[in-house]
Amino acid sequence: MILPLAVGRSEVCLKSGPGPGARDEIFDKLGDVTTPLPSAGPEPGPGGHLLVVEDEQKVAGALREGLEGEGYSVVVEGTGEGAFSRLIAHYDTFDAVLLDLTLPGRDGLEVLSELRRRGIETPVIVLTARDSLGDRVVGLDAGADDYLIKPFAFAELLARLRAVGRRGRATDAGGLSLDTLELDRTTRQATRAGQPIELTAKEFDLLHYLAAHPRQVVSRDTLARDVWRETARSTTLDNVIDVHISRLRRKIDLEGQTKLIQTVRGVGFVLREGGE
């Protein structure tokens, strides 16, 4: 079943069920939320090594207990500055980060943006009560791999962790290329005819998705689901997708270069050689 835990304005839903490891309540006995020195934390568990960044102690404790019960090893940070320092020192030891946005000191969005600016690509799932479409777009554009709105079911969080883990394993260590366009997923660098192209995090994700499906028409529904992580389309989201496509065209399809980004009216978009 789903077990809700209300903490002020925050709520986390944790799963309880039969069996030796089942928990029918969340205990209030929590350790310190922050650690003075940014160590890598405990040895990675069989499920992976996670950093939970959450300033509500009961929410952080509930997440830690539930995740450890699923085989993850968990480190908890209660401030954005503490999380940033730990990730700078040990980014390669964490399999994923669960990041609240409303944090004391350094805001979660600031932490996320700075990590991506420095080339740290550890998967980040945002956990927040900020539920507007604009908030989700800002978070994903800042570099989040997924965006989960509180309150949420613990089973869904586990599914999303598995999904970002699969995407990480499937990531191409090399690059993608089409005509004179080249993309490097590892460094998140894009070039056209050898010239670097400045892209936002979401622009790179969109371009990489199109390049990973060359000469295939990709619908707005597919982009909404796989790039923006939205299960339902809306006029506003369609407009956001169109704006990103327009920006990419201005940056990629330069004068004298083959036009790569094409619109298939009424269907979607395709990355291929040749004009529309």
List, in order of start, the domains of the chain with CATH numbers.
2-170 (3.40.50.2300), 175-271 (1.10.10.10)
| pTM over the 0.75 mark | no
pLDDT of residue 71: 92
What is the pLDDT, as a whole number, of residue 88? 81
- Give Cα separations from 213 to 118, 124, 170 (angstroms): 28, 24, 14
User: For residue 14, what pLDDT is reported?
Assistant: 45
> What pLDDT sits at residue 74?
94
Given this model, what pLDDT does residue 212 score?
Answer: 83
pLDDT at 258: 87
End-to-end, the C-alpha distance of the chain in Å comes to: 53
Question: ∠121-125-131 over CA atoms, to 5°?
Answer: 135
pLDDT for 157: 94
Segments of the chain with pLDDT less than 50: 1-40, 43-45, 170-173
Give the pLDDT score at 41: 53
Cα separation, 55 vs 93, in Å, equals 22
